[in-house]
Amino acid sequence: MDKLAKRLRDDAEQIDVFISPEMDERLRASLTGIRPEPETAPAKALRPFSWWWGSSLTGVAAAMVVLAVVNLQAPAPVPAITEPAYEPFAMPSIPWRAETALLTSPLEQEFEDLQSDIRKAEEALRQELDAIF
């Protein structure tokens, strides 16, 4: 980073800028001639009562025309279905041969293991409670 800073400083020292007196005058004139514009609130254009009345009547008339056009149109005829588009087919009968699975022995062993774990936990808890109280 030091090399870059040194190079930038060297380059900046080599830059020789000359501003003509005419340019200097123009810059000063443009800077001194700037004045902020006063802020003014936008004026509200008030419409007369007849404007509101006319627009309301126009809206009501347009709504009535739309309702009349929609309600006076004849409904589209619904085509009658005479025959099904496909041939119904009979479901084939499947010969189900199901047998119950005998998986009770692993479950019984797991149940016994859980019961023994609960008994051990109860015994350990009783011993700790007796030691505390």
pLDDT tens profile 33-57: 777 677 777 777 777 777 788 888 8
Q: Is the pTM of this model over 0.75?
A: no
Which range marks the domain in which residue 122 is found?
104-133
Q: In whole angstroms, give the CA distance from residue 74 to residue 92.
A: 47
The answer as to whether 122 is a domain residue is yes
So what's the pLDDT on residue 1? 66
Q: How confident is the model at residue 116 (pLDDT cuts 50, 70, 90)?
A: very high
The answer as to whether 126 is a domain residue is yes
Q: How confident is the model at residue 101 (pLDDT cuts 50, 70, 90)?
A: low
So what's the pLDDT on residue 104? 66
The answer as to whether 64 is a domain residue is no
The answer as to whether 123 is a domain residue is yes
The answer as to whether 117 is a domain residue is yes
Domain count, the chain: 1
Model confidence at 3: pLDDT above 80 = yes
Provide the strand spans (E) within 1-133. Answer: none
The answer as to whether 88 is a domain residue is no
The answer as to whether 112 is a domain residue is yes
Q: In whole angstroms, give the CA distance from residue 5 to residue 132.
A: 73
> Minimal CA–CA distance to 120: which of 2, 112, 27, 6?
112
Region 1-15: mean pLDDT is 84
The answer as to whether 130 is a domain residue is yes
